[in-house]
Chains A and B, each alone.
Chain A
Amino acid sequence: MYVAVKGGEQAIANAHRWLADRRRGDRQRPELEVAQIGDQLRLAVDRVMSEASLYDPELAALAFKQASGDLTEAVFLLRAYRTTLPRLAISEPLNTGDMRLERRISATYKDIPGGQILGPTYDYTHRLLDFLQLAGADVPPAEVREDVSEAEPAPGILDLLDDEGLVEREIDDGAEPADITRDPPDYPMDRAARLQMLARGDEGYLLALGYSTQRGYGRNHPFAGEIRLGQVEVEIHVDEWDETICVGEIALSECQMINQFGGTREAAPKFTRGYGLAFGHNERKTMAMALVDRALRAEELGEPVIGPAQQAEFVLAHADSVDASGFVSHLKLPHYVDFQSELDLLRRLRREHARNSSPDLGESLDRPSTEEETSARKSGQGKHDRESGVHGL
């Protein structure tokens, strides 16, 4: 039987109109401006940019407003927009060592060149609701050290302070990184592709996985070696001048995690490393990313793979909130025909059950899987993922 699914146009149009009305809220109050969101809700904006994998604070703020503050929806909106733009350039690798620092801390070395800079942090706040903000109290401007005329150099400290060579070094071997927006991810995946997928991964998901490693599911005893937030200049190579030029600055967060030892018969044990990098101020995300990056190096470092966070295909195939919310949300689409066939099957099974009503028929009630579920399990990913293949969105 064919079930028509047309007929909802007017209902949909009115639903969208109601949504817009709700979003606008009480007309007695001024409408929220996109610029205010960019200014006053910047951590939400940074999260949207990071998970949408597109750095544009104004558009991320617009997406946040348009989505009524639903971060996952806002990420989807911005990710969809990015598919409309051509790629004009690929940057030189960002030099986070040259960051104009807003924050820089280390939990492993106390005295570091450039010092420990706390920056605009929620750490050390008492997590008590501030009723002055409810009352709209004035906020004093940030304190400025008038005796400081320029930033002290603050090089990355992991390599600098380890003169004994106890910490693994990160050295560029010149390998061209994969790009998961151009080529479908292929397992096993190298670290560059994994980092790209983690960088756009959902923060809550990565946080939970990182936390799981701390609780024992793939323990590797992490220390926050260095965390830095600040502005980094972006350079691209332009053919017109055959030169590398600066086209602006972006805010970045970076986490260098130091983890427990790896070593082989040939190489003496060393601290190993996990890395997190994200757009904007996204400290928690970069810490979680660094924990998961390190967990996913289990095989490379000869560790037993015992925790979910160490299983690359499981971790990476489910990290993207656009993929995940898309496949979950599709359950809302009409499944009238699918469900009809399940109903028919169930009725037949029940008829058989009644006919032979004897206690040994339990096994025939094992529900056969639908084609969709079986193949999704076989390939280890959801159906829509196989259809889209390339993470073009």
Chain B
Amino acid sequence: MNQTSRRARQRLLALSTREQIESCWTTLGELPEHHYVRGPETGMAMLKGRAGGTGNAFHLGEMTLTRASIALGDGTIGHGWVRGRDRRHAELIALCDALAQHADWQPRLERDVLTPLADVLAASQQRDAATAAATRVDFFTLVRGE
């Protein structure tokens, strides 16, 4: 099984809901001990837009952001960031990051958590696209019989 890159894993877990992650989580069984090395901490990210969508950057406004860093018993560090204020969500992302660095855990994480979550996310985005597509205008031209 291909290994999801760290960047792709962080994205997938941040775009999944905490409930979705937790529902896969139970199948992992007993997890190694871990403790926080930073946070979880909620703050803000200032978001930038671009004038005209492609021009100079400007500050649009802020959003809430939560980050967590954990260490497993053997010292492996994992980091997680997520929009919003859900500390458990950030902790779960950090835990996945740490587990993915272990040869024992990595295949199980991939099979039991990342693959099912990727399927759920793809299905949900596909449904959004199909719902939007139902409101797409199909122009037609009336031909006058002259």
| A145, B133: Cα distance in complex, Å | 6
User: Could you tell me which residues of chain B, from 47 to 92, have a CB within 8 Å of some CB in chain A?
Assistant: 47-65, 67, 69, 79, 81-85
One of A100, A120, A234, A241 near B47 (C-beta < 8 A) = A234
| A111, B137: Cα distance in complex, Å | 10
Contact across chains for B81 and A238 when beta carbons are under 8 A apart: yes
A192 within 8 A of B: yes
Cβ of A277: which chain B residues have Cβ within 8 Å of it? 49, 60
A233 within 8 A of B: yes
User: Could you tell me which residues of chain A, from 100 to 137, have a CB within 8 Å of some CB in chain B?
Assistant: 100-103, 110-111, 115-120
| A256, B52: Cα distance in complex, Å | 7
* Closest chain A residue, CB of each to CB of B42: A85
B23 within 8 A of A: no
Cβ of B142: which chain A residues have Cβ within 8 Å of it? none
* Closest chain B residue, CB of each to CB of A192: B58
B146 within 8 A of A: no
Take A111-B139, A247-B14 as given contacts and tell me if A177 and B53 are in contact as well, using a CB distance cutoff of 8 Å: no
B103 within 8 A of A: no
Cβ of B120: which chain A residues have Cβ within 8 Å of it? none
User: Could you tell me which residues of chain A, from 19 to 68, have a CB within 8 Å of some CB in chain B?
Assistant: 49-50, 53-56, 58-59
A1 within 8 A of B: no
A191 within 8 A of B: yes
Contact across chains for A245 and B81 when beta carbons are under 8 A apart: yes
One of A169, A174, A250 near B63 (C-beta < 8 A) = A250
* Closest chain B residue, CB of each to CB of A142: B131
Contact across chains for B48 and A56 when beta carbons are under 8 A apart: no
Cβ of B11: which chain A residues have Cβ within 8 Å of it? 233, 245-246
Measured CB to CB, the closest approach of chain B to A22, in angstroms, equals: 29
B41 within 8 A of A: yes
One of B60, B82, B129 near A148 (C-beta < 8 A) = B129
A213 within 8 A of B: no
Take A91-B45, A234-B45 as given contacts and tell me if A179 and B7 are in contact as well, using a CB distance cutoff of 8 Å: no
Q: How many interface residues does B have (CB within 8 Å)?
A: 53
| A186, B82: Cα distance in complex, Å | 34
User: Could you tell me which residues of chain B, from 1 to 55, have a CB within 8 Å of some CB in chain A?
Assistant: 6-7, 10-11, 14-15, 41-55
| A174, B50: Cα distance in complex, Å | 11
B136 within 8 A of A: yes
A86 within 8 A of B: yes
Contact across chains for A172 and B63 when beta carbons are under 8 A apart: no
Contact across chains for B51 and A53 when beta carbons are under 8 A apart: no
Cβ of B14: which chain A residues have Cβ within 8 Å of it? 245-248
One of A159, A181, A250 near B83 (C-beta < 8 A) = A250
One of B41, B53, B55, B61 near A54 (C-beta < 8 A) = B61
One of A103, A180, A192, A256 near B132 (C-beta < 8 A) = A103
Take A159-B54, A177-B58, A248-B15 as given contacts and tell me if A56 and B45 are in contact as well, using a CB distance cutoff of 8 Å: no
Cβ of B128: which chain A residues have Cβ within 8 Å of it? 100, 102, 151, 231
| A246, B12: Cα distance in complex, Å | 8
Cβ of A102: which chain B residues have Cβ within 8 Å of it? 128, 132
| A363, B59: Cα distance in complex, Å | 50
Contact across chains for A236 and B130 when beta carbons are under 8 A apart: no
Contact across chains for B134 and A142 when beta carbons are under 8 A apart: yes
Measured CB to CB, the closest approach of chain A to B101, in angstroms, equals: 12
Contact across chains for B64 and A56 when beta carbons are under 8 A apart: yes
Take A54-B44, A115-B137, A144-B127 as given contacts and tell me if A192 and B57 are in contact as well, using a CB distance cutoff of 8 Å: yes
Most central of B44, B58, B132, B136 by chain A CB within 10 Å: B132
Measured CB to CB, the closest approach of chain A to B36, in angstroms, equals: 15
One of B6, B57, B65, B136 near A89 (C-beta < 8 A) = B65
Take A55-B64, A195-B58, A254-B53 as given contacts and tell me if A236 and B45 are in contact as well, using a CB distance cutoff of 8 Å: yes
Contact across chains for A94 and B51 when beta carbons are under 8 A apart: no
Q: Could you list 23 A-B pairs, sorted by A, with CB under 8 Å?
A: A54-B62, A55-B83, A56-B85, A88-B43, A89-B46, A92-B48, A93-B48, A96-B53, A118-B135, A145-B134, A148-B126, A150-B125, A170-B52, A170-B56, A177-B56, A195-B58, A233-B11, A233-B15, A234-B63, A241-B7, A241-B79, A244-B7, A256-B52
6 more CB-based (< 8 A) A-B contacts, given A195-B49, A245-B81: A59-B64, A85-B44, A88-B41, A145-B134, A199-B61, A231-B128
Please name the 4 residue pairs, one residue from A and one from B, whose CB atoms are nearest each other, closest first: A170-B52, A248-B83, A170-B55, A55-B63
Which A residues contact B (CB, under 8 angstroms)? 49-50, 53-56, 58-59, 82, 85-94, 96-97, 100-103, 110-111, 115-120, 142-146, 148-152, 156, 158-159, 169-181, 191-193, 195-196, 199-200, 230-231, 233-234, 236, 238, 240-241, 243-250, 254, 256, 273, 275, 277, 279
